[in-house]
Amino acid sequence: MSEKRFFPSNDDCPVRDVLTGLTSKWPMLILFALMDGEERFSGLQRRIEKISKRMLTVSLRDLERDGYITRTVYPEVPPRVEYALTEMGKEVVTPLVKLIRWAESRHDDIRDARGRYDEAKAK
C-alpha cells in the first residue's frame, strides 16, 4: 500500500506552488484564449467576460512571471502590446485541453448532480 500524498504549505510542494496559480479561474481562461494565437489586452478582456482590467493585468503578469506567456511591446504610437503562449505555455495547455473536453462532455451531468444535491438539501 502506498503512502498518502502530503501537500506541505510551502514552495517545495509542486501542487501548491505550480498548479494552484495555474488552475485558478482567470489564468486558466487566459491560457485557453491564447491557444487561438496572439492577443492584445483589449481582445482578451472582450473574450473573457466579467474579468476586470485589474484582474487581467495581475493574471497576465503572473503568467508571464511563471514563463507561460510572453508580452511583446511594439514601438508604435500608441504602443501595441500582444500576449502569446511560450513553448512551456503551449505544453501546459495540451493536457488542459483534455480537461476542457471533459468539462464540456460532463457539464450537463454536473449541473444535474448539483440540482439533485440542492433539492435534497432544501428538504
Mean pLDDT in residue range 103-113: 95
**DSSP for 70-93, written as a single string:** EEEEE--SS-EEEEEE-HHHHHHH
Tell me if 6 is assigned to some domain: no
Q: Number of folded domains in the chain?
A: 1
Specify the pLDDT at position 1. 57
pTM of the model: 0.82
Per residue in 12-27, pLDDT (tens digit) is: 888 787 887 788 889 9
- What CATH number is associated with residue 29? 1.10.10.10
Tell me if 1 is assigned to some domain: no
d(CA 96, CA 90) in angstroms, rounded, equals 10
Tell me if 81 is assigned to some domain: yes
Residue 57 sits in which domain range?
14-122
How does DSSP classify residue 3? P
Per residue in 54-100, pLDDT (tens digit) is: 999 999 999 999 999 999 999 999 889 999 999 999 999 998 889 88
Tell me if 46 is assigned to some domain: yes
Specify the pLDDT at position 51. 96
Tell me if 9 is assigned to some domain: no
Specify the pLDDT at position 73. 95
Mean pLDDT in residue range 37-64: 96
Tell me if 43 is assigned to some domain: yes
Phi-psi region of 7 (alpha: psi -120 to 50; beta: other; left: phi over 0): beta
Specify the pLDDT at position 91. 95
Tell me if 45 is assigned to some domain: yes
Tell me if 41 is assigned to some domain: yes
